Structure 1
Amino acid sequence: MDDAPLKILVVDDEPLATERLQLLLARIGGVDLVGTASDGEAACRMAEALSPDLLLLDIAMPGMDGIDVARELSRRADRPAVVFVTAFDQFAVSAFEVEAVDYLVKPVETVRLERALERARAHIERRANATQPTAVAGKHLDEFWASDLTGLVRIRSVDIDRITAERDYMRLHVGPRSWLIHHSMAALEEGLDPGLFVRLHRSAIVRRDYIAGFHRNVSGRWIARLADGSEQPVGRLYADSVRAIAGR
């Protein structure tokens, strides 16, 4: 991250606990409290609407608890970092299974909270850097690093079947699995080996040998049939790619 404030969403079903965190955050520079939520369902809705960088998240809440919230948010491309703030210490193992950055036991002191926020910033920066593919001048991208619940995963370009766009993120499909990276489709098209990959749509790049064939639909639009039996529409701007692959 740069010098932008760390956007924080506080989630706790106890008003006094929420107020204490608000007071502590007011003493700390470089943070922006974007909202508070008193239950898990509201936390998920607000996280989607506000895109916080970090959740200060209670665990023991009625209904959807903090572990459930962290697990739900981990499926999202723009998932925030999570620091658990709880009155109980027996949930630590479960907390780190969902990649919590830190685990604070109430009552939280300012110094301890500051340390957790520093860890959150470092975690967010590492995650952003790890998902940025880089190419050496004159060479093509040959690997990517993506994060998942187990940590960081190395993905070789030659193993990628296809890449699809999901807003500001790209999904790398490898067999039945997939990972999200934060990058642009244009940069990937430029960095990948054009002898191995072809762009078929503004939101799709496919490995050439993963294409099993082409056919036209009722409106005359080209459709690529892929090796797994799925289909990928070909954008009108990329129709020439079909002709080049088919040698026509």
Structure 2
Amino acid sequence: MPPESKPLRVLIADDEPLAAERLQLLLARAEGAQLVGTASDGDSAINLTEALSPDVLLLDIAMPGLDGISVARALAAQNPSPAVVFVTAFDQFAVAAFEVEAVDYLMKPVDPNRLQRALDRAQAYLQQRVSQPAPSGGSKWLEEFWASDLSGLVRIAARDVDRVSAERDYMRLHVGRRSWLIHHSMAALEEGLNPEIFVRLHRSAIVRKDFIAGFTRNQSGRWIARLADGTEQPVGRLYSDRVRAIAGR
């Protein structure tokens, strides 16, 4: 961070004393951060945030009383609200973390370098918020996803997703040659993704419009979308009107 910047004022909220102590030790070694307090449950996290106005909240999810997701929702109404970084032993809350606009999502045990990156990201987020305040209500469209990765969790920008395919109770996000599973419904994705950018072509498939190279018909007259990576995506009968809309017919 720039030398003239003030240290980030950080509040830790974790009901496990050993986990909270480890975070304090890591924070003491991190650059550009200052601990201002600790909370051991959700209600205390809200009360201390209101009293201390921290820049960043390192927030556990599974806590007595209000869980971390509920705390983040409650604090979102504050102006200004702290940048929230979730610190948890569980990866199944990643989608919920995105929905409350978390800046980052760290898996326990926290790696010191990973914590530093999260603090740097929080600093950048706070600076951007000051220089470019978000419009009232924020964007109505999904802009990013959290997905499990071998190293923990990865943030995926919605604009980078080539297509989405359904796999039972999960959706697979395809980005180039890589893909990630997220716990989401196809209906929720169709509603949340910007229709100017994405189109649903099948009950189990959503495709980014500029990833479509063309359309052909098979022997039975069904539309087939040819995609930029050389693969093909059948168009469901209920979605054939989308082909005409894309082609301007």
Instruction: Indicate the TM-score class for this superposition, using the shorter chain for normalisation.
Output: 0.5 to 0.7
**1:127 and 1:147 in contact (8 A); partners too:** no
Give structure 1 stretches of 5+ with no counterpart.
Answer: 132-144, 153-248
Q: 1:66 aligns with which of 65, 68, 74?
A: 68
Q: 2:77 aligns with which of 66, 75, 84?
A: 75
User: Partner amino acid for 2:35?
Assistant: L
Q: Distance in 2 between the 1:129 and 1:115 partners?
A: 21
Describe the superposition over 1:210-239 as per-residue Cα deviations: whole angstroms up to 9, x where unpaired: xxxxxxxxxxxxxxxxxxxxxxxxxxxxxx
Q: 1:21 aligns with which of 23, 27, 31?
A: 23
- Report the equivalent of 1:195: none
**1:97 and 1:149 in contact (8 A); partners too:** no
Q: Distance in 1 between the 2:15 and 2:121 partners?
A: 25
Assess, with a 3 A threshold, how the Cα gap between structure 1 residues 87 and 149 changes in structure 2: closer, same or farther.
Answer: farther
- Report the equivalent of 2:34: 32
Assess, with a 3 A threshold, how the Cα gap between structure 1 residues 99 and 44 changes in structure 2: closer, same or farther.
Answer: same
TM-score by length of 1: 0.54
**SS of 1:19's equivalent?**
helix
Alignment of 1:1-248 (within 5 A): 3-131=5-133, 145-146=134-135, 148=137, 150=139
Offset at residue 130 of structure 1 (A)? 1.1
Give structure 2 stretches of 5+ with no counterpart.
Answer: 142-249
Q: Distance in 2 between the 1:60 and 1:150 partners?
A: 28
Q: Distance in 2 between the 1:65 and 1:150 partners?
A: 25
Describe the superposition over 1:43-101 as per-residue Cα deviations: whole angstroms up to 9, x where unpaired: 00000100000000000112100000000000111210000000000000000100000
Describe the superposition over 1:20-65 as per-residue Cα deviations: whole angstroms up to 9, x where unpaired: 0000011112111000000010000000100000000000112100
Q: Distance in 2 between the 1:150 and 1:14 partners?
A: 35
User: Partner amino acid for 2:102?
Assistant: A
TM-score by length of 2: 0.53
Describe the superposition over 1:116-161 as per-residue Cα deviations: whole angstroms up to 9, x where unpaired: 0010001111111112xxxxxxxxxxxxx52645479xxxxxxxxx
Aligned length in residues: 139
Q: Distance in 2 between the 1:115 and 1:151 partners?
A: 27
**SS of 2:31's equivalent?**
coil
Q: Distance in 2 between the 1:94 and 1:150 partners?
A: 17
**SS of 2:135's equivalent?**
strand
**SS of 2:36's equivalent?**
strand
User: Partner amino acid for 1:66?
Assistant: G
User: What is the CA RMSD across the aligned residues, in angstroms?
Assistant: 1.7
Assess, with a 3 A threshold, how the Cα gap between structure 1 residues 63 and 127 changes in structure 2: closer, same or farther.
Answer: same
Q: Which runs of 4+ in 1 moved over 2 A?
A: 145-152
